[in-house]
A and B are shown apart, each in its own frame.
Chain A
Amino acid sequence: MAVETPPRVTAGTPSTTAKPETGQPWKERWGGLFFVAPFLLLFVLFMLWPIVSGLWNSFFNTSLAGVKQEFLGLQNWRDLFGDPAVWSSLKNTLVFTAMSTPPLVVIALVMALLANRKGLLGWLLRFSYFAPFVLPATVVTLIWVWIYQPGFGLVNGLLTAGGFTEIDWLNTENRAMLAVVITTVWWTVGFNFLLYLAALQGIPAQVYEAAAIDGANGRQQLFRITLPLLSRTTGLIVVLQLVASLKIFDQIYLMTTGGPNHATRPIIMYIYETGFTSYRIGYASAISYLFFAIIVIVAVAQFKLFSGRGEAE
């Protein structure tokens, strides 16, 4: 259920280009349609149709097993509100989002500030900060599952060497989510870092030069010039990150399969279990619509906040 933020329309002012004249030949008015037709077809087939059929299914007891389905009305929706697994898994998704978003933004910014320099060190930092992002989820989780392993894992090795007791990261209820968050930050912070780095390099050098002549020190330059000029990028990163974090599934499925005792099961995993392991496509559709609504609300709220700030500038 990918929800992309729509591209921001920058040309808010009325456009000066003339509207197409009504007398234009058919070919020119409809020609464009032929060019977008291949995309449109795929979009309708793989986006619009599943969205509509998902809503349709949520009113039936549709089964993956192909048994005859019956109309249930709002039964699935009523069940959903009384199903504690829906709420606990939704809570897990929100907890993950709340835990992962701040570090993924702040650390990315710090890394970008560190790596925004010329020479070998800059190159090395840029390379090493971004490198984990290119790894596939399976590789990342495999590495980290071993790192967290009690007995012979790296983290617990360090803990015991430092005189602390071992922690069974992935099998302890109030540690497992933290472990997944740490892995996620290591893996995906490189993307936000790249966005920040690009924005940093877009700040003209003469701004800093002027500030230096006026006697601003490095700290003042950072807080008065760099950070304000990065605010648009920060807004973008926060929106993208919130949506990406809400869609958490891969790492958790691969690292803990939602355990221990469902403590890390995100809502998408519950949807998957319901729809595919238990074949209850109808009920799973209803849950995914609930989640869809939440993502839309978050995205719209962020977008409003973000565009409001943009106009004030």
Chain B
Amino acid sequence: MPPDPALFRPGRRAVLGGLLGTLALTGCGALRSQPKVREWNLFGGGDGARLLQIHQQYVAEHPDVLFEAHTLAWGPPFYTKLAMSAAGGRAPEVATLHLSRLKGFSPTTMLDPIPVDLLADAGVTESDFLPTSWNRAVVDGKLYAVPLDTHPFVLYYNTEICQKAGLLGADGKIKTVKGVDAFLDMLKAVKDVTGKFGASVETTNPWRLWWTLYGQLEGKFFDETGTRLVLDDAKALEALTLMAKLAADGLTPRSSNYSALVAQFTNGDAGLSFNGEWEVTTYQTAKMPFSMAPFPVVYDVPKYAGDAHTFVLPHQSNRNKDDTKATVEYIAWMLKHSAEWAAGGHVPAYQPVAKSDEYLKLKPQAEYRSVAPDVLFDPDAWFSGSGAQLQNEAAAAFSGVFSGQATPKDALAQFKAATQKLLDTPSPV
């Protein structure tokens, strides 16, 4: 028998009371003793898929931790959101950050120092890292970031094309090339085989290539105080002129953006590719015949543009002790499992893993590990680092060198003026 609807019609107060009750109940859920770890990262590509797998394993092994990971768009969108959440004091427990961005991220106001004692309890100490990466993570005597990896600019090569071009040694690996002439000869040999290009490059953002070449010329950027631009014009021009020559001779495209760089290497328009090492998974998935090697030493010294991903604790107004402990343990766990992370291309920063058989067996990921100590970070300034303003200005000025719309001299003048303007701007951090 259906009940009389009038009898069961809830009053306004009853509905409100019910809603409040439900809210209170869900609220209780937040008061549980279970520690929570919310993580924000910027890995949208092949490495992001790998991170997801590692996180699944973490969650399976830590049923007591409430774990939530969010991937945000790389570069400015990620850093903007992280900065806003940290400025408001309601940030996630842990986030990824490029080591080169650390100083520009205002660590004293937007980050909380890493509790080194808790980190040691979790089995991770300073001696587990290369001094170059650890020292850069320390600001004003406090540790603000834990390095996860190093990601250098490397050389990808298509083994089939390079075989035909006669560039492979008896071991099937690309022969080491040194000096400008040998470098150009290598590109020409590949171009003759592909019929299109020697190497694919991101001409719309050639910062990494220029910074590598300029670094190999031992060029300096800022003076010791970090307040004066001491760019060596002759060396900067030498690097830019070489880049212009690559495009003018058709050894690289005159214009290609990041997705075109990947496409041209995948479809064989280019037999070589100059890029960061994070596209391994992409090319493996495409079942390409390829391998990787350190970027050639074109000039005087081995230097390779690069950066490092780190874990940081964004600033929280009310930091919870249990959550922080779980977070530090999460960081340590991730470092100890970074061999799986390394499969995505990045060189592990945690030395016990970097020296492990598991990592050394990875091919081609372990082929370029030797360059880690020679990785050249971006200049140290608040406007510098991956995806920051200095790289944008370099992209704006230098892309014209490839396309032929600007001479190396004009491009350098424009870049220097833009850098000077950034230097003259009072630091907001």
Binding site for B on A (CB under 8 A): 61, 63-67, 149-151, 168, 170-173, 259-262, 273, 276-280
Contacts and interface: CB of A to CB of B under 8 A. Distances in A.
Interface in B107-159: 109-110
B87 A172 contact: no
B429 to A, nearest CB: 5
Interface string B273-287: 000000000000000
Q: Which residue of A173, A260, A280 has the most chain B CB atoms within 10 A of its CB atom? A: A260
Interface stretch (B225-233, B359-367, B396-404): B396-404
Interface string B241-257: 00000000000001101
Contact of A280 (B269, B414, B428): B428
Nearest to A282: B428
B104 to A, nearest CB: 9
Given A260-B396, A280-B428, 6 more contacts: A67-B109, A260-B403, A261-B396, A261-B406, A273-B392, A279-B428
B399 A66 contact: no
Q: Which 7 A-B pairs have the closest CB atoms?
A: A65-B106, A63-B428, A279-B428, A276-B80, A66-B87, A171-B255, A66-B109
A240 to B, nearest CB: 29
Contacts of B80: 276-277
B212 interface: no
A200 B105 CA distance: 56
B403 A171 contact: yes
Interface residues of B, number: 35
Given A64-B83, A277-B389, A168 B426 contact: no
Contact of B83 (A171, A172, A262, A279): A279
A281 B256 CA distance: 33
Nearest to B264: A151
A64 B428 contact: yes
B151 to A, nearest CB: 21
Determine chain A's interface SS by DSSP, over half rule.
loop
B112 to A, nearest CB: 13
B175 to A, nearest CB: 30
A150 B255 contact: yes
Nearest to A260: B399
Contacts of B110: 65-66
Contacts of B392: 273, 277
Interface string B370-411: 000000000000010000110010011101100101100000
A65 B106 CA distance: 6
Interface of B: 76, 79-80, 83-84, 86-87, 105-106, 109-110, 203-204, 254-255, 257, 260, 269, 383, 388-389, 392, 395-397, 399-400, 403, 405-406, 414, 425-426, 428-429
B405 A172 contact: yes
A261 B83 contact: no
Contacts of A149: 260
A170 B255 CA distance: 10
A65 B87 contact: yes
A277 B388 contact: yes
A66 B429 CA distance: 8
Contacts of B405: 172-173, 260-261
A66 B106 contact: yes
Contacts, number: 84
Contacts of A150: 255
A64 B84 contact: yes
Contacts of B395: 259
B396 A61 contact: no
A160 to B, nearest CB: 15
A171 B257 contact: yes
B411 to A, nearest CB: 9
Q: Which residue of B269, B405, B414 has the most chain A CB atoms within 10 A of its CB atom? A: B405
Nearest to A149: B260
A259 B395 CA distance: 9
A276 B84 CA distance: 9
B266 to A, nearest CB: 13
Contact of B429 (A173, A262, A279): A279
Nearest to B315: A66
A173 B255 CA distance: 12
A217 B396 CA distance: 56
26 contacts: A61-B426, A63-B106, A63-B428, A64-B83, A65-B87, A65-B106, A65-B109, A65-B110, A66-B106, A149-B260, A151-B260, A151-B269, A168-B255, A170-B257, A171-B203, A171-B204, A171-B257, A171-B399, A172-B255, A259-B396, A276-B83, A277-B80, A277-B389, A278-B425, A279-B428, A279-B429
Contact of B79 (A173, A277, A280): A277
A167 to B, nearest CB: 11
A143 to B, nearest CB: 14
B386 to A, nearest CB: 12
Given A171-B399, A261-B397, A277-B76, A67 B389 contact: no
Contacts of A273: 76, 389, 392
B204 A63 contact: no
A61 B429 CA distance: 11
A105 B257 CA distance: 33
Contact of B204 (A61, A260, A276): A260
Nearest to A170: B257
Contact of B383 (A66, A171, A278): A278
A260 to B, nearest CB: 6
B389 A260 contact: no
Given A67-B106, A279-B429, A262 B396 contact: yes
Nearest to A273: B389
A62 to B, nearest CB: 8
